[in-house]
């Protein structure tokens, strides 16, 4: 693994805008950054990222199976009791899932360490699956990158295939929703809608607040048509608290992600994984606050079990808080041994490893000046060297 | 290769590894050419099938229509969805309902004479109406309402329909010949009633909204991670 400095394509902004990638610059700072790239060997990708992702996913699925029959575990995850039955049913029914993103600390000189699992509402999917892919094609065509370069990135193909397979084959109508006022969320959903169309589905977008609930509890769209299958880029833990949340229980609507993903989309997963596989090379020691053991060590990261985009995170080094981020989240805390996020000269680089339908599917790298990756991180593309 | 070999995007077209085609290209096999007939005589006149085959296709479409069309207890509720004069009474298994009219029959060219037609309904009123001077060709997705008293010239010469699956199909009625539609419309829909999305009852007066989305408004954070 090494960091390359590369010339940007002079026309990349035009290309991005044409493709609907309008959030390439966020809050005045560049989000897509192709002035650099990371280069990996095929062995690094296959043995250090892809294989561990598959193994961690297996562990996570095993954990869901354990969790849904354990009051103690479900309580620790912060999921309201009312939804336990629906989660159990969803898992037993075998509701398929679409995607998730493991975030790893990896520097090419030891095992990748899992920082967290974004199992419910990960973004950066379009940038990974399409724009990074186009970047490689164009930079090879322009002679900037050697012909025969590759990329760990079958995200697009796998997402289309996953949509096609969701109902076991037959076509279906898919609604897709997200919150208002986020270009990134809207762009991600627009991309997923394109993927669904490529899979032969008919689609309909709506904002979450446009979803209607009929008197019989059915979820309906703006035209009052029943919502059979809903992709929602909207966290389950928010839906649990909202007015329509309880209407999910017993609903005929199939949700993507399925409700059982709520078991994984919490940082409370981390101490449970460590309990299941203490010493696993791809895991860091992690505990609920107040239940720490020796192996946590004096330097650790403290995060609320539900927080997003690096909000409300504290870094404790040798027992003293050295860094903290603000944010709206509170609730139970998880402590995870501090691991250095490698800096190759452009900021702290975190690897995001995509799972699509529980299969390893690709990778992205985000760099952040701050050791806590936030929403101002820059997306830096990668190649596998020929 | 550890990456996708091909990417198709609606906005951008088809991208293929090793040869980016930019904005050219298009869907490869996801569409069908389909005939739309509003009447048995139109089917016979078009001469794509024999009279016997036309009768057989229309009978099959009628059957499907009775089975799959949304059912309403009252004419007013049906008309609220499909427009004035677009509904008719029907008795199904001893119960009286109002159904949207069978507005046409759609048959994929590759399925002609195979008794696999789709029953077409009038367009839904909730669909966006074509703006004055526009047609579904120039304003994709808009529909031409079937109102008998329409004075607007929008969508002139065009006809719009809804499938039992809730998809909209429009064609230029001043021209003969097939329309091109997503293959999902000519196949799956009618034969997979479990995924039918058409409203089975009128819900317009009993729907509440806004029960999702409040957390996003109260935190300034994006919902994604």
Query: B212 with A242: CB under 8 angstroms?
Result: yes
- Residue A115 sits at φ, ψ, to 5 deg, of -90, -45
CB-nearest partner of A384 from B2, B18, B192: B2
Banded model confidence at residue B192, pLDDT cuts 50, 70, 90: very low
The pLDDT assigned to B28 comes to 38
Give the rounded percent of residues in chain A with a pLDDT score beyond 70.
99
Average pLDDT value over all residues in chain A: 93
Query: d(Cα B76, Cα A182) in Å, to the nearest integer?
Result: 40
The pLDDT assigned to B154 comes to 59
Among B195, B205, B206, the residue to mutate for chain A (most A Cβ within 10 A): B195
Residue A112 has pLDDT above 70, yes or no: yes
Q: Which two tokens mark A312?
A: 């409300």
Q: What is this model's ipTM?
A: 0.88
Q: What is the pLDDT of residues A1-14, one digit of tens each?
A: 999 999 999 999 99
Q: Which residue has the tokens 């409203």?
A: B199
Cα B11–B16–B18 angle (5° rounding)?
135
Query: B143 with B163: CB under 8 angstroms?
Result: no
How far lies A274's CA from each of A44, A48, A107, A372, in Å? 24, 19, 22, 21
Q: What is the pLDDT of residues A241-268, one digit of tens each?
A: 999 999 999 899 999 999 999 999 999 9
DSSP code at position B27: -
Report the sign of the C-alpha dihedral through residues A94, A100, A105, A110, in that order: positive
The pLDDT assigned to B220 comes to 56
- Tell me whether B184 touches chain A (CB under 8 Å): yes
Banded model confidence at residue B155, pLDDT cuts 50, 70, 90: low
More confidently predicted of A107 and B25: A107
Query: d(Cα A309, Cα A345) in Å, to the nearest integer?
Result: 22
Respond yes or no on whether the N-terminal peptide bond of residue A257 is cis (omega within 30° of 0): yes
Coil, strand, or helix at residue A3?
strand
The pLDDT assigned to B53 comes to 92
Residue B223 has pLDDT above 90, yes or no: no
Query: d(Cα A10, Cα A249) in Å, to the nearest integer?
Result: 51
The pLDDT assigned to B17 comes to 62
The pLDDT assigned to B67 comes to 86
Give me the mean pLDDT over the B96-116 stretch. Answer: 89
The answer to whether the Cβ–Cβ distance between B224 and A123 falls below 8 Å is yes
DSSP code at position B122: P
Residues of A in contact with B23 (CB under 8 A): 18
Banded model confidence at residue B203, pLDDT cuts 50, 70, 90: very low
Q: Which two tokens mark B165?
A: 């699956």
Average the pLDDT over each of A147-161, A218-232, B124-138 and give the range with the smallest value.
B124-138
DSSP code at position A48: I
The pLDDT assigned to A384 comes to 97
The answer to whether the Cβ–Cβ distance between A242 and B12 falls below 8 Å is no
Query: d(Cα A231, Cα A256) in Å, to the nearest integer?
Result: 5
Which pTM was predicted? 0.71
Residue A35 has pLDDT above 60, yes or no: yes
Average pLDDT value over all residues in chain B: 75
Partnered with residue B14 across adjacent β-strands are B8
Helices (H), A142-182: 155-165
Helices (H), A166-235: 183-198
Give me the mean pLDDT over the B31-58 stretch. Answer: 90
Average the pLDDT over each of A159-168, A172-181, A372-381, B187-196 and give the range with the smallest value.
B187-196
Give me the mean pLDDT over the A213-219 stretch. Answer: 90
Residue B177 has pLDDT above 60, yes or no: yes
Name the residue among A105, A63, A68, A57 with its Cα closest to residue A351: A105
The pLDDT assigned to A167 comes to 83
The pLDDT assigned to A175 comes to 97
- The set of residues, in sequence order, having a beta carbon less than 8 Å from that of A371 and lying 6+ positions away, is A315, A323, A341, A348
Q: Which residue has the tokens 């904002």?
A: A207
Query: d(Cα B149, Cα B67) in Å, to the nearest integer?
Result: 30
Could you tell me how far CA A245 lies from the centroid of its own chain? 22
Q: Which residue has the tokens 């009791």?
A: A81
Banded model confidence at residue B22, pLDDT cuts 50, 70, 90: very low
Query: d(Cα A218, Cα A214) in Å, to the nearest integer?
Result: 5
CB-nearest partner of B188 from A171, A197, A222: A171
Residue A131 has pLDDT above 70, yes or no: yes
Name the burial class of residue B25, with classes exposed (0-12), middle (13-18) and buried (19+) by CB atoms within 10 angstroms of its CB: middle
How far lies A115's CA from each of A247, A336, B210, in Å? 33, 8, 35
- Tell me whether B9 touches chain A (CB under 8 Å): yes
Query: d(Cα A265, Cα A305) in Å, to the nearest integer?
Result: 9
- Tell me whether A255 touches chain B (CB under 8 Å): no
Name the burial class of residue A13, with classes exposed (0-12), middle (13-18) and buried (19+) by CB atoms within 10 angstroms of its CB: middle
Name the burial class of residue B52, with classes exposed (0-12), middle (13-18) and buried (19+) by CB atoms within 10 angstroms of its CB: exposed
Minimal CA separation from B184 to chain A, in Å = 6
The pLDDT assigned to B188 comes to 43
Partnered with residue A335 across adjacent β-strands are A287, A302
Q: Which two tokens mark A92?
A: 């037993």
The pLDDT assigned to B224 comes to 66
Give the rounded percent of residues in chain B with a pLDDT score beyond 90.
16
Query: d(Cα A167, Cα A254) in Å, to the nearest integer?
Result: 10
Banded model confidence at residue B207, pLDDT cuts 50, 70, 90: confident
Per-position DSSP letters for B68-105, written without gaps between them: HS--BSSHHHHHHHH-TT-EEEEEETTEEEEEE---EE
Query: d(Cα B128, Cα B141) in Å, to the nearest integer?
Result: 8
Residue A228 has pLDDT above 60, yes or no: yes
Q: What is the pLDDT of residues A40-66, one digit of tens each?
A: 999 999 999 999 999 999 999 999 999
Q: What is the pLDDT of residues A281-339, one digit of tens each?
A: 999 999 999 999 999 999 999 999 987 777 788 999 998 988 888 887 778 899 999 99
Task: Name the CA radius of gyration of chain B, rounded.
Answer: 21
Residues of B in contact with A200 (CB under 8 A): 30, 182-184
Residue B222 has pLDDT above 70, yes or no: no
Query: d(Cα A193, Cα A187) in Å, to the nearest integer?
Result: 10
The answer to whether the Cβ–Cβ distance between B11 and A207 falls below 8 Å is no
């Amino acid at each position: 693994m090494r960091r390359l400095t590369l010339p940007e394509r002079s026309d990349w902004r035009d290309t991005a805008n044409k493709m609907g990638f309008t959030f390439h610059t966020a809050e005045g700072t560049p989000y897509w950054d192709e002035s650099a790239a990371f280069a990996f060997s095929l062995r690094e990708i296959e043995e250090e990222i892809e294989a561990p992702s598959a193994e961690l996913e297996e562990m996570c699925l095993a954990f869901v199976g354990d969790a849904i029959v354990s009051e103690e575990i479900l309580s620790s995850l912060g999921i309201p009791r009312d939804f336990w039955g629906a989660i159990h049913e969803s898992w037993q029914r075998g509701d398929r899932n679409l995607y998730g993103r493991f975030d790893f600390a990896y520097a090419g000189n030891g095992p990748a360490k899992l920082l967290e699992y974004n199992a419910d509402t990960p973004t950066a999917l379009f940038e990974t699956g399409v724009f990074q892919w186009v970047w490689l094609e164009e930079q090879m065509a322009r002679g900037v990158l050697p012909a025969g370069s590759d990329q760990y990135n079958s995200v697009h193909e796998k997402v289309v295939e996953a949509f096609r397979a969701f109902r076991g084959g037959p076509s279906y109508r898919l609604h897709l929703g997200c919150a208002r006022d986020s270009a990134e969320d809207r762009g991600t959903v627009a991309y997923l809608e394109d993927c669904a169309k490529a899979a032969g589905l008919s689609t309909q977008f709506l904002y979450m607040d446009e979803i209607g609930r009929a008197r019989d509890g059915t979820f309906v769209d703006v035209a009052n048509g029943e919502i059979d299958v809903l992709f929602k880029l909207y966290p389950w833990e928010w839906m649990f608290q909202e007015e329509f949340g309880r209407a999910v229980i017993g609903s005929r609507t199939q949700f993507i992600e399925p409700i059982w993903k709520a078991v994984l989309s919490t940082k409370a997963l981390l101490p449970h994984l460590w309990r299941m596989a203490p010493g696993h090379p791809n895991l860091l020691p992690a505990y609920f606050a107040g239940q720490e053991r020796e192996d946590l060590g004096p330097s650790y990261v403290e995060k609320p079990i539900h927080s997003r985009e690096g909000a409300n995170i504290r870094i404790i080094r040798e027992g003293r808080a050295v860094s903290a981020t603000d944010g709206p989240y509170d609730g139970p805390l998880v402590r995870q041994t501090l691991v250095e996020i490698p800096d190759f000269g452009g900021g702290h680089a975190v690897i995001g490893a995509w799972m699509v339908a529980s299969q390893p599917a690709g990778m992205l790298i985000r760099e952040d000046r701050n050791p806590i990756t936030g929403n101002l991180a820059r997306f830096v593309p990668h190649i596998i060297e020929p | 290769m550890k990456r996708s070999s091909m990417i198709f995007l609606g906005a951008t077209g088809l991208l293929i590894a090793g040869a980016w085609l930019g904005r050219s290209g298009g869907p490869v096999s996801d569409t069908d050419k389909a005939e739309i007939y509003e009447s048995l005589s139109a089917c016979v006149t078009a001469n794509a099938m024999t009279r016997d085959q036309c009768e057989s296709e229309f009978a099959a479409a009628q059957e499907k229509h009775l089975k799959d069309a949304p059912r309403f207890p009252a004419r007013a509720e049906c008309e609220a969805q499909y427009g004035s004069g677009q509904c008719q009474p029907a008795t199904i298994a001893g119960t009286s309902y109002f159904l949207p009219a069978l507005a046409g029959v759609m048959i994929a060219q590759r399925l002609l004479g195979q008794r696999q037609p789709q029953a077409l309904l009038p367009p839904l009123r909730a669909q966006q109406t074509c703006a004055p001077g526009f047609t579904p060709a120039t304003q994709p997705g808009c529909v031409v309402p079937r109102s008998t008293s329409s004075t607007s010239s929008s969508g002139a010469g065009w006809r719009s329909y809804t499938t039992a699956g809730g998809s909209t199909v429009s064609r230029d009625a001043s021209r003969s010949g097939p329309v091109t539609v997503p293959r999902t419309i000519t196949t799956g829909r009618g034969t997979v009633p479990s995924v039918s999305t058409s409203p089975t009852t009128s819900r317009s007066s009993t729907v509440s909204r806004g029960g999702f989305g409040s957390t996003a408004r109260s935190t300034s954070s994006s919902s994604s991670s």
